[in-house]
A = this chain, B = another copy of it.
Amino acid sequence: MDDKKFVKEIQSKEEDYSRWYLDIVKKADLMDYGPVKGTMIIKPYGYAIWENMQQDMDRRIKETGHENAYFPLLIPESYLKKEMNHVEGFAPEVAWVTKGGNEELEEPLVIRPTSETIICSMMSDWIQSYRDLPMKLNQWANVMRWEKSTKPFLRTSEFLWQEGHTAHATHEEAEEEAMQMLEVYRAFAEEFLAMPVVAGIKTENEKFAGAEHTYSIEALMSDGKALQAGTSHHLGQNFSKVFDIQYSDKDNQMQYAYQTSWGSSTRMVGGLIMTHSDDRGLALPPKVAPIQVVIVPILRGDKEMVKDKAHELAKQLKALNIRAKVDDREEMTPGWKFNEYEMRGVPVRVELGPKDIEKNQFVLARRDTGEKAFLSLDSFTQTIQDTLAEIQVNMYNKAKHFMDSHTYEINSLEEMKEQLLQEKGFMKSWWCGDIACLDHVKEETGVTPRNIPFEQREGHDKCLVCEKESSTTVLFARAY
């Protein structure tokens, strides 16, 4: 088999980014298309990535005092209709169940596009007194928003996510919660996925349907387009008023609860891919990689001896909770395997032949830098541990450097248009606060406001559209 087979088959990123992305998800065997438009199958290697993400995110959610629960998939139409902005936002994109068994349903049911309405309807029963607050729930679930096209992981009708739903006694507490969960998302993205993000608050026109305000983290993909990687909503009393979530406070007065909701999804898998991968295929930060180290024995001479040594090394790594795999198949050449695991994004490759063993050495190849080195077997496990840690940091730094060097201070619509002709990226611009100016930017350039970053440009200047004096900067970008 041609050693270069897989490399050749991946479309170059420069030439066609979209094709490159599709090549990677298919050839790294992360997914396949389902029979219904807008659907996909998450294949084992892709699902293993998601499981690693879930495990780490779940730990963070529990450590911040939330409990998991499970709410029904189907929501009565009447529930969806209760919060006016919410139904306007979601009704056009829901799937409708109209028949159960052999009977037409009296009231159509929707497959949850998100679960605020059904969870609020239950919270209304569960919350009676200030002693029942705060109530901090999370669920891992599938949700559905009707789509006709499929962009694997990024845009599919059904996707997997976690959605947190909380109720609090005061506005302040709900605000703290919404901010805390945004921080959980930021830390997860940067520490676990090595994916730098910009945290901020959404502009009014981009907030969640039914929220008082929405916070988001926005990541910059390697084509200069933005990806929203997590959102946290302060719902105020919008839902508690329509679902009657009232509690009696310490003075026995009835009060409406303040609420939040927040979600992160399999979309992040797409973000992960577009942050780190290259023309050789997928690249995964060690923390999220299903296989962290692949050991490829070079089967010459005393094959069994080499295999045994490879398995012994893998065992040493596994004892340290390092996800190691030996590929000792004889029908594939080492070169084929090197390409295969590079293409699947395995952070570290160990090569080990009979001569290496004789010299008490091994070859270590890094997926992130492409470097290869001969190193002593004496400090094998320590070397691997250190290298994995280094790769995690290096991948973050590389992505951070890309983001920083592709973040532009833009002072007028003209400058923005020029920038888009050169190179895409995050664009920080002054904005007067008028939604009409945002709409104008979008019409003229296709660029949308990602958020109002917590880290603002210093000083003040003219709005990029209307030229009114303003002291707020907005993060703009073309977005997925």
Interface residues of A (CB under 8 A from B): 32, 34-36, 39-44, 47-48, 50-51, 67-76, 79, 92-102, 108-109, 111, 118, 121-122, 125-126, 137, 141-142, 144, 146, 157-158, 160
Contacts and interface: CB of A to CB of B under 8 A. Distances in A.
Given A36-B74, A41-B69, A101 B97 contact: no
B111 A101 contact: no
A130 to B, nearest CB: 13
Given A44-B67, A51-B68, A72-B158, 11 more contacts: A35-B79, A36-B74, A39-B74, A41-B69, A44-B137, A73-B158, A74-B158, A96-B98, A100-B146, A100-B157, A101-B146
A102 to B, nearest CB: 6
Contacts of A73: 111, 142, 144, 158
A416 B142 CA distance: 47
A280 B9 CA distance: 65
Contacts of A92: 101-102
A32 to B, nearest CB: 6
A70 B54 CA distance: 14
A69 B44 contact: yes
Contacts of A146: 100-101
The oligomer's copy count stands at 2
A120 to B, nearest CB: 11
Contact of A97 (B34, B76, B111, B118): B111
Which 6 A-B residue pairings sit nearest by Cβ, starting from the closest?
A44-B67, A96-B99, A42-B70, A101-B146, A39-B72, A100-B146
A229 B68 CA distance: 24
Contacts of A69: 41-44, 47
Contacts of A121: 35
Given A95-B97, A101-B146, A102-B92, A48 B72 contact: no
A358 B251 CA distance: 41
A297 B7 CA distance: 64
Contacts of A160: 70
Nearest to A99: B96
Contacts of A158: 72-74
A41 B122 contact: yes
Nearest to A34: B72
A447 to B, nearest CB: 26
B125 A32 contact: yes
Contact of A47 (B70, B93, B97, B122): B70
A122 B32 contact: yes
Nearest to A145: B101
A414 to B, nearest CB: 38
Contact of A68 (B47, B67, B72): B47
A125 B100 CA distance: 31
Contacts of A32: 122, 125-126
Given A41-B72, A71-B34, A101 B93 contact: yes
